[in-house]
Amino acid sequence: MSSAALAGGPVDEKLVIDDELEIITRTAAPEGHPLDEVISGWHYRTEETRALEADSFQNPGMLYVERGEEIWNTVEGDAGKSCASCHGDGEEFLKGIGANYPKWNADANKPFNLELQVDQCREENMQAKPYKFDAADQKALVTYIKHQSIGMPVEIDLSQGEMQEWWKKGEETYYTRTGQLNLACATCHEDYNGNYIRADHLSQGNVNGFPTYRLKQSAMVSLHNRFRGCIRDTRAEFPAAFSDELMALEVYVTWRGTGLSVETPAVRQ
């Protein structure tokens, strides 16, 4: 990896959405974090990409937010209920929830991300089928849920259940080199962040903008899809979505971005 040629740090700009909502895109790292400052991936993108995220009328991810709201209010499953039947107005009920996931789920005895929580409500409360991984409606609904916390700082509760152990397991994965290229998450996102790999400006790999609208794919990309893509790039076998390995990674990487605002739907290259 050539680090010298195009090296350059994150841009020194502020993200203010629609000239009114200030987004925390840089903040002091939580205690125990290897870096001093955590920085949103927004700072590493081009001016055009950054501008798209700053204008909610131009942000293509906002269409998924709208679609998610429709799903929230649509009856599905044998119980004849919608999400709104139990939870009421989504904008009210969901405020803040997306900033605190993943969260310990005592019944399942593991951390739940929003996708798993939504599936639990679909199966147990609506008698509907769980979503297939990366179904369009799953991405739209999770985008809608996360968007209700836009601007709020990410903070997950590691004191519940066995969250500490999952955090530890995620940390281990983060620093383990794998694949034919023998790279760890930390190689690219900690040691080389700020440098270029091919045409890509490497960020810290924070997750506060997920699901994220990717211009390259003209679509929303879920977090576990992104994790799998990064692992595939090291030419390693990639684990299943929502497997224990990726759930642990989600806990750990979400913690790394503690204090950054939820940006969903972020726009990335």
Sites of contact with ligand HEC (CB under 6 A): 41, 44, 81, 83, 85-87, 97, 103, 117-118, 120-122, 125-126, 141, 145, 183, 185, 187-189, 197, 200, 202-203, 205-207, 209, 212, 226-227, 230-231, 233-234, 249, 253, 266, 268
In sequence order, the β-bridge partners of residue 262 are 150
Stated as kind and residue range, the H or E segment containing 16 is: strand 16-17
| 177 in catalytic set | no
230 is in an annotated binding site: yes
Counting every residue written for the chain, the total comes to 269
Distance of CA 223 to the CA centre of its chain: 5
226 is in an annotated binding site: yes
Q: How far apart are CA 116 and CA 213, in angstroms?
A: 21
Nearer to ligand HEC, 206 or 261 (CB): 206
Burial class (CB in 10 A: 0-12, 13-18, 19+), 68: buried
224 is in an annotated binding site: no
Query: Looking at beta carbons, which residue is closest to ligand HEC?
Result: 41
177 is in an annotated binding site: no
189 is in an annotated binding site: yes
User: Shortest distance, CB of residue 174 to ligand HEC, whole angstroms?
Assistant: 6
Short-list 232, 264, 243, CA closest to 101: 264
Q: Are 58 and 52 in contact (CB under 8 A)?
A: yes
User: Shortest distance, CB of residue 108 to ligand HEC, whole angstroms?
Assistant: 10
Q: Are 107 and 161 in contact (CB under 8 A)?
A: no
121 is in an annotated binding site: yes
User: Shortest distance, CB of residue 73 to ligand HEC, whole angstroms?
Assistant: 10
* Annotated catalytic residue, options 128, 184, 230, 241: 230
Q: Are 259 and 58 in contact (CB under 8 A)?
A: no
User: Shortest distance, CB of residue 57 to ligand HEC, whole angstroms?
Assistant: 21
Q: Long-range contacts: 100-107, Cβ < 8 Å, 24+?
A: 100/155, 100/156, 100/157, 101/156, 101/254, 102/156, 102/247, 102/250, 102/251, 102/254, 103/156, 103/157, 103/160, 104/157, 104/160, 104/161, 104/162, 104/163, 105/161, 106/161
Catalytic positions? 230
**Per the annotation, where are the binding residues for substrate?**
226
Residues that constitute the known binding site: 83, 86-87, 121, 185, 188-189, 226, 230
- Which residues are known binding-site members for heme c? 83, 86-87, 121, 185, 188-189, 230
